[in-house]
A and B are shown apart, each in its own frame.
Chain A
């Protein structure tokens, strides 16, 4: 690529996005899928990912910059494996315009909110609409209410989450990255719901 000394102006509408080289499927028994996490800042997206990928929980908040990339493989009971290539996006407003870069071509979107924050639930609904408009048509979407360990501070009723997810054809779960509650279940459930390639 010939690099000149000047650069095209900020563009957010470029086609393509970040996609693995291969089409996302290695073979029928071993899937490789792109997963993106979206949601307001501070709802615990990175914590969910780090709990899932490394089994760790760090209570000190580390603001994600741009997006972090991690991968983790899940083995299912039917002896298939699913390798998740996870884009953990930053929740900050300034990165909102860049989100298409990360969710374009994603097979799975996990939209996260914080059960103690109604604002984050509103933001989650924004992301769901955005994905319905601009995401892949057959994208698997999960709605996740995180920080379920903070029951006493809950402000978003479970039923609200269930209702909204049902209306939008999403899978719903409440998790706690802190206690690891439902984290693995989340990803296993997603893996089960993935469309399987028909054997050739």
Chain B
């Protein structure tokens, strides 16, 4: 049983920004318990604070404020308004922090000599970011995101998907897929002199050890040569002192460094994500680069330290930006596990059998995927596939449009498998979402793999796998509303098949007693279950009140923090954690076999939440052969 190891008191939030905007604002008409009347009271408070603004834009006004000039004027006027008062108030306090930026303590101690020459421009740049913003935010589209909410440590902290989320405001609560996200390089016209560039909340840079830019999330790499040189100077200055710079804090900004031989990776972020998370993201970014080029790219730097790598990565902006985007919506990026498309056991077996057949004949790995989820995968004897490799491979394939046009044969490196060598990937899309990847070591296996694909396709069609996949995409997997916890009459009555028709909302089978919040029973909003043995995770479908991409992202960031704290080697490892703030109750439970992350209504009852978590684990076990790929070759590394 989980026991609480930490618990912060619930602070009731009267600020509409911290409430969920798209959630059903109507309090339950039948407030028969204390919890519920509190709920109702809070909802009323929330709606009061909302009422001073446009109803749809309440929480999203930060996004709107964060928007660029290209957005519609309408949205702007919604977004600015009452919030400006808060911005001004906040800025007064923030200006104090700006002072810190110039003379950051981490760096100041040892780097004073260099700071005066070049690195100072970095510090100046960062501090200027805030300075420049200040006059801007009240009048123009401004910049409120960073300091958006007036209370709480879990600030809304998005940086990307501006365009996307604006559309989301229009759609108001409709669950939108990630497909809307505009791929490719954003704002290539910017450089470090642009105000808009400095306002970006999360920058990623890849540069060479000679300071040459290789990749920048925003702006033109070539124009950022000076900035890259600055980053390189900081790294090499510390290295010259026999040390290594990992993190520089500058006010709200964190500058995270990762050195991989001749390749330097840097993240500059004010999203308040933990250092470990940002470092993990840099590792993945590096892995993505290795997937495209292999680690033998290092040899180019041995021959010529001033080697310019940008041309080698030509046309891959979209791959990196799509990966960076996934940091905010794909839990696989911090769980280091993969997820499966929910499918009937027999369906997945049928797919696995034909892949196994093919894997016997010269195929190293065969993967059948639907978007970023695995339908089935098979490895040749002794070959194992790391979840991070699956993530990077699927990101590469899905973000490169040309794979959808026709079958392809392309060199690809799996960084966790062998970072030095290319494999050859045969890629074929069966439909818009479902694709097959056959990996081989043999460069002339194309026709063989093409034949294998034809065989696989025949079997998949015959056994209706592809249509089942489409159905699963529509139906989804685990809906928290299906979790039944009434221990007396319905004990163990959790549906053991995902595909069964679910009782309609409000039917007697559902928990609608005094503890019910919106979402699932006892205020359960969402959960992620990670099986340690299988290296797989399952995430419940999002439902009210976690409706918008923005809220999903915020929840993922909260999980990410929780994950980091659970795995913190200095103070952990922990077994359980119960955390309550104004946004959620978060409960994490780690055992030898699994990790469970669950989010509840902030007013959820602790004992009941623990009980629900037990039910969730039981539920996962009941349906495990539909949500997980079982019996795959054991993953050992």
Residues of A within 8 A of B313 (CB): 94
User: Does A28 count as interface, using CB distance less than 8 angstroms?
Assistant: no
* Beta-carbon contacts under 8 Å, B293-347 to A: 293-294, 296, 311-316, 318
* A10 and B422 form a contact (CB under 8 A): yes
CA distance A112 to B384 in the complex (A): 41
User: Shortest Cβ distance from B277 into chain A, in angstroms?
Assistant: 29
CA distance A6 to B423 in the complex (A): 11
Contacts A/B (CB < 8 Å), 18 sampled: A1-B362, A2-B381, A5-B383, A7-B423, A9-B296, A9-B420, A10-B421, A14-B443, A18-B446, A21-B447, A41-B314, A65-B410, A66-B412, A67-B408, A68-B408, A69-B406, A69-B446, A94-B314
Number of interface residues of B (CB under 8 A): 46
Interface residues of A (CB under 8 A from B): 1-11, 14, 16-21, 41, 46, 50, 62-70, 88, 90, 92-95, 98, 101
User: Does B139 count as interface, using CB distance less than 8 angstroms?
Assistant: no
Return the contact of A3 from the options B380, B396, B446 (Cβ within 8 A). Answer: B380
Q: Smallest CB-CB separation from A3: which chain B residue?
A: B380
Q: Smallest CB-CB separation from B450: which chain A residue?
A: A69
Return the contact of A65 from the options B361, B408, B423, B442 (Cβ within 8 A). Answer: B408
CA distance A62 to B161 in the complex (A): 21
CA distance A41 to B317 in the complex (A): 15
User: Shortest Cβ distance from B318 into chain A, in angstroms?
Assistant: 8
* A8 and B446 form a contact (CB under 8 A): no
Q: A10 with B294: in contact, given A67-B410, A69-B408, A94-B312 (CB under 8 Å)?
A: yes
Interface residues of B (CB under 8 A from A): 292-294, 296, 311-316, 318, 361-362, 364, 380-384, 396, 400-403, 405-412, 417-418, 420-423, 425, 441-444, 446-447, 450
CA distance A18 to B450 in the complex (A): 12
Residues of A within 8 A of B364 (CB): 3, 7
Majority-rule SS of B interface residues: loop
Q: Smallest CB-CB separation from A93: which chain B residue?
A: B311
* B382 and A4 form a contact (CB under 8 A): yes
CA distance A69 to B421 in the complex (A): 23
User: Shortest Cβ distance from A20 into chain B, in angstroms?
Assistant: 6
Return the contact of B441 from the options A3, A69, A95 (Cβ within 8 A). Answer: A3
CA distance A70 to B361 in the complex (A): 24
* B380 and A98 form a contact (CB under 8 A): no
* B402 and A46 form a contact (CB under 8 A): yes
Residues of B within 8 A of A8 (CB): 421, 441
Return the contact of B409 from the options A63, A66, A93 (Cβ within 8 A). Answer: A66
User: Shortest Cβ distance from B384 into chain A, in angstroms?
Assistant: 8
Return the contact of A66 from the options B401, B408, B420 (Cβ within 8 A). Answer: B408
CA distance A95 to B311 in the complex (A): 11
Residues of B within 8 A of A98 (CB): 411
CA distance A92 to B411 in the complex (A): 13
Q: A18 with B402: in contact, given A4-B382, A63-B315 (CB under 8 Å)?
A: no
CA distance A67 to B442 in the complex (A): 15
CA distance A68 to B417 in the complex (A): 25
Residues of A within 8 A of B384 (CB): 5
CA distance A17 to B446 in the complex (A): 9
Return the contact of B314 from the options A11, A21, A93 (Cβ within 8 A). Answer: A93
* A9 and B421 form a contact (CB under 8 A): yes
* A64 and B402 form a contact (CB under 8 A): yes
CA distance A69 to B447 in the complex (A): 10
CA distance A63 to B447 in the complex (A): 23
* A62 and B402 form a contact (CB under 8 A): yes
Residues of A within 8 A of B312 (CB): 92-94
Q: A10 with B296: in contact, given A62-B405, A65-B400, A66-B411 (CB under 8 Å)?
A: yes
Residues of B within 8 A of A2 (CB): 381
Q: Smallest CB-CB separation from A85: which chain B residue?
A: B447
Residues of A within 8 A of B383 (CB): 3-5
CA distance A64 to B315 in the complex (A): 9
The 3 A-B residue pairs with the shortest CB-CB distance, nearest first, are A66-B410, A63-B315, A3-B380
Residues of B within 8 A of A1 (CB): 361-362, 442
Residues of A within 8 A of B407 (CB): 68-69
* A41 and B446 form a contact (CB under 8 A): no
CA distance A80 to B403 in the complex (A): 32
CA distance A7 to B384 in the complex (A): 13
Return the contact of A101 from the options B296, B400, B441, B443 (Cβ within 8 A). Answer: B443
Residues of A within 8 A of B405 (CB): 46, 50, 62, 68
CA distance A1 to B396 in the complex (A): 27
CA distance A11 to B411 in the complex (A): 11
Q: A18 with B409: in contact, given A3-B364, A92-B315, A101-B443 (CB under 8 Å)?
A: yes
* B292 and A94 form a contact (CB under 8 A): yes
Residues of A within 8 A of B315 (CB): 41, 63, 90, 92
User: Shortest Cβ distance from B498 into chain A, in angstroms?
Assistant: 34
Q: A67 with B447: in contact, given A1-B362, A7-B418, A94-B292 (CB under 8 Å)?
A: no
* A6 and B381 form a contact (CB under 8 A): no
User: Shortest Cβ distance from B259 into chain A, in angstroms?
Assistant: 23
